[in-house]
Amino acid sequence: MKKIATVLLITFLLYNYTLAQKKAITEEGKEVLLFENGTWKYTEDEEGEIEEVVEIPVNNKNFLKDEKASFLLKSTKNEIGYWLNPKKWTFKKAQKNEDAEYDLQYKDGDAYAMIISEGMEIPLETLKDIAINNAKEVSADVSISKQEYRYVNGLKILYMELDGSIKGMKFSYLGYYYSNESGTTQFVCFTAQNLKEKYKEEIVTLLNGIVEY
């Protein structure tokens, strides 16, 4: 299973989005994304039509941290923390991805997580666009299987589930996206697509540990 875990991690690193992207308007009035390396692209699809704007629903359920989540993992880049159950999840400083703060792994199976923290505040709608655009650069068939706003420990969070494939391997990402004056957080769990339902409850329990401190 270590080989599968490695492929999943590489897939996630490829998928990892650059927050330094910015939007601009051309002289013709078209919107483009600007990248750090000096390149750019239209925010339109391949046919040149503007992508349909989908209204994101709001889940009015109050999501709370697990009572057994006894350890608070704190970011050093913004004022966000993550309550987790150390009996179920291990964590360490991220080493393979310089943009990430922490890597996490479920002790009893093939589920993983990564926390990406930035000091820049970014609107959730913009953060969503960045995530999707960069995911499509890696996996052309990536799609949103679920998206909604949630209230998690009093915070308005964007929740997204993404499904896609790379070289025939199907993967799923389940993530919380949040931003405030102290910065932006992307708390994303990932596993093989066929294991998504098996680990979903544990993954969501982990995600629900996000708090401001």
The answer to whether 136 and 142 have CB atoms below 8 angstroms apart is yes
- Other residues' Cβ atoms within 10 Å of the Cβ of residue 42: 13
CA 55 to CA 178: how far, in whole Å? Answer: 18
Return the bridge partners of 144, or none: 162
Task: Give me the pLDDT at residue 50, please.
Answer: 45
- Whether residue 73 contacts residue 84, with contact meaning beta carbons closer than 8 Å, is answered with yes
Residue 11 CB partners (closer than 8 Å, separation 6+): 138, 166, 169, 171, 190
pLDDT of res. 171: 94
Q: What is the pLDDT of residue 52?
A: 52
| Whole-number Å distance between alpha carbons of 92 and 102 | 6
Least Cα distance to 122 among 114, 111, 130 occurs for 130
pLDDT at 161: 97
pLDDT along the chain (213 residues), means of 10: 50 50 59 57 51 79 97 97 98 85 97 95 91 82 96 98 92 96 95 97 98 96
Query: What's the predicted TM-score (pTM) here?
Result: 0.78
Q: What is the pLDDT of residue 97?
A: 73
* pLDDT for res 70: 98
